[in-house]
Amino acid sequence: MNHLRYRLRRLDQTPYVTVGLIGLMVIVFLAMTLAGGSTNGSVLIEFGAKLNPLIQQGQWWRLVTPIFLHIGFTHILMNMITLYFVGMQLEVAFGHGRYLAIFLVSGIGGNVASFCFSDSLSAGASTAIFGLFGAFMMLGESFWQNPVIRSLARTFLAFVVMNLAFDVFTPGIDLAGHVGGLFAGFFVAYLVGVPRIGRVSVIKRVIASIVLIGGLVWLYLHGMAQ
């Protein structure tokens, strides 16, 4: 019995969701490469990249599938390195299910924002990764008295500011998607809570839910109306 408990505790501390997400994205990238190349526009569209006219025609899943696609080797390499080091920390903090919810909702939120504000063909896990940064900001706000969390939050805040500044001056970067993912991750982290660290007030969770759901609905409807 003690051995089983030890194994279960070890499994609980293993970031298998993060590793699984990375594995899935690598498989998709290889499939895209075999299909004609991950930088090929036709291949990207076939695999589900975000393309506004097709979403407006009813292909709503293109707000989800871009999370798992990448455009070129450098794109996936940088995103997977970031996802591994950021994800394994947050997965332990939030737990596997809550962490996965943050990742997916952030990615969708970023793609909805991109759908509303950007007409470009886009793909990548960056929307979800920025959402993980947003979750770190939530931890910093809710548990500022914890010196470790406070230090991590400051570090990631500086990293986010630098990345957004870089986005502004770099052509082809989906700034709307990154900002949308950041805010989605910040609010969904309140919604799911983080019982492994501490309690988040009901008022904060209710407000976050209203802002998150209301914001996503408004952005989606606005994008459909364009």
So where are the chain's domains?
2-225
**Residue 178: active-site member:** yes
Q: Which one of the listed residues 3, 178, 201, 209 is annotated catalytic?
A: 178
Asked whether 173 and 122 are in contact (CB, 8 A), the reply is no
Cα–Cα distance, 214 to 55 (Å, whole number): 20
DSSP string across 130-142? HHHHHHHHHHHHH
Integer-rounded Cα radius of gyration of the chain? 18
| Residues 160-179 pLDDT 10s | 888 888 777 777 788 999 99
| Residues 122-144 pLDDT 10s | 999 999 999 999 999 999 999 98
Residue 134: name the closest of 97, 188, 91 by CA. Answer: 188
- Interval 11-36 mean pLDDT: 93
- Interval 101-121 mean pLDDT: 97
For the entire predicted model, the pTM comes to 0.92
**With bands split at pLDDT 50, 70 and 90, how would you rate the model's confidence at 11?**
low
**Residue 3: active-site member:** no
pLDDT above 50: residue 46 = yes
Q: Domain 2-225: which topology?
A: Rhomboid-like fold (1.20.1540)
pLDDT of 163 reads: 80
- Interval 83-93 mean pLDDT: 93
Asked whether 181 and 129 are in contact (CB, 8 A), the reply is yes
First to last CA, the chain: 60
Cα–Cα distance, 208 to 218 (Å, whole number): 15
Q: Which one of the listed residues 106, 122, 126, 142 is annotated catalytic?
A: 126
Helical spans, DSSP H, in 95-125? 96-117
Q: How high is the mean pLDDT of the chain?
A: 91
